[in-house]
Structure 1
Amino acid sequence: MSALNIDATPRISLLGTTAVLFEAPGALDLAPQQRIWALARLAQGWPAIREAVPGMNNLMLTFHQPPRDLHGLKSHLLEAWEACQPLPLEGRIVELPVTYGGEFGPHMADVVAHTGLDVETLCNLHCEPLYPVYALGSHPGYCYLGGMDPRLATPRRQVPVLNIGAGAVSIGGVQTGVSASAGPSGWNTIGHTDMVFFDALQSPPALLQPGDHIRLRIERIIR
């Protein structure tokens, strides 16, 4: 679940009859995302809430039954948001070895052409940050990450790729991410990791959670 509300005030909208989406204002950054985590933890304790699912700058709330007083719910959410302070979650640091380029990075040349960086510089910049996990979404186990060097920002592809493999390391706009399973993608794939991000037989099934961090490490660069 990924959305961005650039208005000055939060936006609240219905998702069917048993869910609402709360969209926070502002840019994609760690502090507002930590407020989303705080609101999710608070809302999870409300009697009518079935599940509170943080996304990128948003929070989805699902209900046991359709809410009867939508206006009251919206007011309650807005008041809670104003009171919420950033919640720093002390998660784990997981290191991912990445093979860049070659058959594992079919769009490396496109990112190089857009950024003007050579492959080695691009890979080093990509591995430099400690990436916080902002939210899980898109598909099971997938992590939305913050903190990518803005020099690596590359627009999403005009024509999505119908199928990329699990473990694909990609750049889409100002973000980077790692695919947890095979499927279509509009991001630019520059590498691959063998890490398994989702296993339905494990508890919890997702390897990472919001508040964890990913550190990428160059395993090799294929030119």
Structure 2
Amino acid sequence: MSAPGRAGRPLVVLPAGPRALLVELDGREAAEAFHAEVLRRRAAGALPDVRDIVPGERTVLLDGIAHGAAALARELRTWPVPPPRRDGGDAVELPVVYDGPDLADVAEAWGVAVAEVSRIHAGTAFRVAFCGFAPGFGYLTGLPDHLHLPRRATPRTRVPAGAVALAGPYTGVYPRPSPGGWQLIGRLPDPGPLWDPRREPAALLAPGARVRFVEAAR
């Protein structure tokens, strides 16, 4: 069931039930590219009726396939997948006050002045790769490799809603108070409903969305 893993092409396509397929890919960027291609083909009417498309760090789950799951699995393995576009669609703009308790530590790790952290972060074009951890928590990619940071050695027992944080290759915004071990660099002055089940999509930071942080006055 394996296929060559180049670009965003699947490494493995596995049945995840009678009407579901789990597509495994060669890393985060390949998963992003494949997810974008699935959405593009569905919008163009070139994909069978699929109820849910759920991206992960290295996987994409297609669930609720109305018919032809086996045929779709064979087709998926042959897809040539281009890199995802970074400039498509309107960006979600989030105002941020950069005064997080880990700001100085992040500046030291990046080798820059504290004031530069906000400039670098707000100047980065982000995209939501996938959601997880808590409803409405998006894993945003965009920071270059040399700015990736480890999680804190000791997690906090409570991180406030709206906290903007870094860990590994990701930026995230906590949708509600919870424990967390990410590096806190700022906060949304008005978090608003990052998750609202009455909205479509329920997550403000939904997979595939472009995100831009805007520095706000303290």
The TM-score normalised by the length of structure 1 is 0.73
Are residues 81 and 187 of structure 1, via their aligned partners in 2, closer, same or farther at CA, if it must alter by over 3 Å?
farther
- Whether contact under 8 Å (2:31, 2:60) holds in the other structure is no
- Extract unaligned runs of 5+ from structure 2: none
Letter matched to residue 198 of structure 1: W
CA shift, 1:113, in A, is 3.1
Matched, 1:83 2:82: no
Counterpart amino acid of residue 91 in structure 2: I
Aligned residue runs from structure 1 range 207-222, under 5 A: 207-220=204-217
Q: Does 1:122 align with 2:117?
A: yes
1:139-161 deviations in whole A, cap 9, x for unaligned? 22222212114343211123322
Query: Unaligned 5+ residue runs, structure 1?
Result: 1-6, 66-71
Q: Please state how far the C-alpha of 1:45 moved relative to its aligned partner.
A: 4.8
Residue correspondence of structure 1 range 165-176 to structure 2 within 5 A: 165-176=160-171
Shift of 1:123: 1.4
Q: Does residue 58 of the first structure (1) align with residue 56 of the second (2)?
A: no
User: Residue 172 of structure 2 is aligned with which of 173, 177, 182?
Assistant: 177
Could you say which residue in structure 1 is the equivalent of 2:131? 136
Percent identical: 31
Corresponding position of 1:93: 91
Number of equivalenced pairs: 204
2:104 alignment counterpart: 109
Question: Would the aligned equivalents of 1:129 and 1:149 in 2 still touch at CA under 8 Å?
Answer: no
**1:39 and 1:84, CA in 2 relative to 1: closer, same or farther beyond 3 A?**
farther
Q: Residue 33 of structure 1 aligns to which amino acid in structure 2?
A: E
Q: Which amino acid aligns with 1:206?
A: A
Give the aligned residue type for 2:58. Answer: N
Distance 1:184 1:46, change over 3 A: farther
SS of the equivalent of 2:204 reads: coil
With over 3 angstroms needed to count, the CA separation of the structure-2 counterparts of 1:64 and 1:131, relative to structure 1, is: closer
Q: Partners in 2 of 1:189 and 1:85 — Cα distance? A: 35
* Distance (whole Å) between structure 2 residues aligned to residue 59 and residue 32 of structure 1: 7
More moved, 147-156 vs 186-195: 147-156
